[in-house]
């Protein structure tokens, strides 16, 4: 279940209440008249089955609640209520499309900005990976994968493409296009410095590093693992079960491959540089492919559900048209047509 906190202007609160009251997937509906001051209006609280949140929010946006008031979405960790159980059953407890699209967009938009913190994490992750490359220590490679923040912009770009939002896509690409080169340059400079003070060997035979050799050996399984990681990573972001995300970060060698590029440049090993570059390109491409494929399938499921919902009687009780969306008229392409 998901909790909605809605601030609705007084002239629309009746429509909002009628909409929510008529939906079988909504329970614990509460109205506090004139409780909101900024913006002014009524405060309306309710719990909604997760699979129905996006279609309900789309209806609320047709009523311009997002413009004249506000809609807040919060996850409910646990709830003991017969009414909630009935609402979850009505909304499809085991529906294959549990994505709350507004939540996914908000979650990924926070991780696409090119900030100082993002760059620092990229640099530190690559420097940690570089030590693992110097001394053939896979545990440091794993640590660098967890520290690396690159999956955020990758996921943000996938969501932006599916939602057709060019601005988040531009920010995501910018973060990756700037973060990786800065991290690689920092790795080169630090490698030169450590070599100059005698802390690392004067030369490295990357072929003898059997434990970390996988970073510079692009093959079928490099693409296969990256594709699976992209799928699992996107599923973890679009569902309530996000515990798999750490495993995704550990399974993708983007940061180690980029760090190996910096180390190879510092040691003037151009063959290793080419292999590491290929590894990075393969990983990024397959993560994008897996993420986009997953999101497109989930989006298609949502569009089918939204189309059915446009013809449901609950909309007419709120004064919304049956079979079409007001938003589709003002913003073509923002809403699907009814079946």
Indicate whether 287 pLDDT > 90.
Answer: yes
**CB 1, CB 47: distance < 8 Å:** yes
Q: Which of 116 and 328 is assigned the larger pLDDT? A: 116
**DSSP characters over 7-74:** EE-HHHHHHHHHHHHH-TTEEEEEEEEEEEETTEEEEEEEEE-GGGHHHHHHHHHHTTHHHHSEEEEE
User: Quick one: fold of 2-95?
Assistant: Alpha-Beta Plaits (3.30.70)
Residues 6 or more apart whose CB falls under 8 angstroms from that of 77 comprise: none
Amino acid 94: pLDDT: 47
CA–CA gap between residue 230 and residue 246 (Å, rounded): 12
Residue with tokens 């004139």: 34
Indicate whether 96 pLDDT > 90.
Answer: no
Mean pLDDT of 225-240: 84
Amino acid 250: pLDDT: 57
Picking from 1, 160, 182, the residue whose alpha carbon sits closest to that of residue 77 is: 1
Q: How confident is the model at residue 14 (pLDDT cuts 50, 70, 90)?
A: very high
Q: Which of 232 and 3 is assigned the larger pLDDT? A: 3
Average model confidence (pLDDT) across the chain: 87
Mean pLDDT of 310-320: 86
Query: Could you tell me the residue ranges of all domains in the chain?
Result: 2-95, 105-300
Indicate whether 44 pLDDT > 90.
Answer: yes
**CB 59, CB 46: distance < 8 Å:** no
Indicate whether 331 pLDDT > 80.
Answer: no
Considering only 3-12, 91-100, 112-121, 213-222, which range has the smallest mean pLDDT? 91-100
Considering only 3-12, 73-82, 179-188, 245-254, which range has the smallest mean pLDDT? 245-254
Amino acid 194: pLDDT: 96
Indicate whether 45 pLDDT > 90.
Answer: yes
Mean pLDDT of 78-104: 77
- State the Rg of the chain over Cα: 24
Amino acid 236: pLDDT: 81
Amino acid 259: pLDDT: 95
Sign of the torsion formed by the C-alpha atoms of 249, 173, 236 and 28:
positive
Amino acid 97: pLDDT: 52
């Amino acid at each position: 279940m998901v909790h909605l906190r809605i601030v609705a202007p007084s002239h629309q609160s009746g429509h909002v209440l009628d909409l929510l009251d008529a939906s079988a997937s909504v329970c614990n509906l509460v109205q506090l008249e004139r409780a909101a001051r900024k913006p002014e209006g009524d405060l309306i609280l309710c719990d909604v089955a997760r699979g129905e949140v996006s279609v309900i929010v789309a209806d609320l946006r047709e009523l311009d609640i997002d413009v004249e008031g506000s809609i807040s979405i919060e996850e409910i960790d646990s709830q003991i209520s017969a009414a909630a159980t009935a609402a979850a059953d009505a909304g499809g407890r085991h529906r294959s499309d549990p994505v709350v699209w507004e939540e996914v967009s908000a979650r990924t938009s926070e991780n696409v900005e090119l900030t100082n913190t993002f760059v620092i994490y990229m640099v530190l992750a690559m420097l940690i990976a570089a030590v693992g490359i110097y001394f053939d220590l896979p545990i440091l490679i794993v640590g660098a994968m967890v520290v690396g923040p690159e999956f955020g912009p990758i996921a943000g770009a996938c969501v932006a493409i599916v939602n057709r939002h060019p601005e988040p896509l531009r920010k995501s690409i910018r973060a990756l296009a700037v973060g990786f080169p800065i991290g690689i340059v920092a790795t080169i400079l630090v490698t030169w410095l450590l070599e100059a003070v005698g802390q690392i060997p004067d030369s490295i035979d990357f072929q003898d590093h059997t434990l970390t050799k996988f970073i510079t050996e692009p093959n079928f399984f490099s693409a296969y693992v990256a594709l699976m990681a992209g799928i699992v990573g996107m599923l973890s972001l679009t569902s309530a079960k996000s515990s798999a995300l750490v495993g995704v970060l550990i399974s993708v060698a983007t940061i180690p491959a980029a760090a190996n590029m910096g180390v190879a440049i510092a040691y003037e090993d151009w063959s290793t540089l080419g292999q590491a570059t290929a590894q990075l390109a393969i990983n990024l491409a397959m993560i994008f492919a897996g993420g986009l494929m997953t999101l497109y399938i989930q989006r298609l499921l949502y569009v089918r559900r939204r189309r059915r919902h446009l013809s449901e009687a609950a909309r007419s009780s709120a004064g919304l048209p049956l079979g079409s969306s007001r938003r589709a008229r003002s913003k073509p392409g923002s809403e699907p047509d009814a079946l």
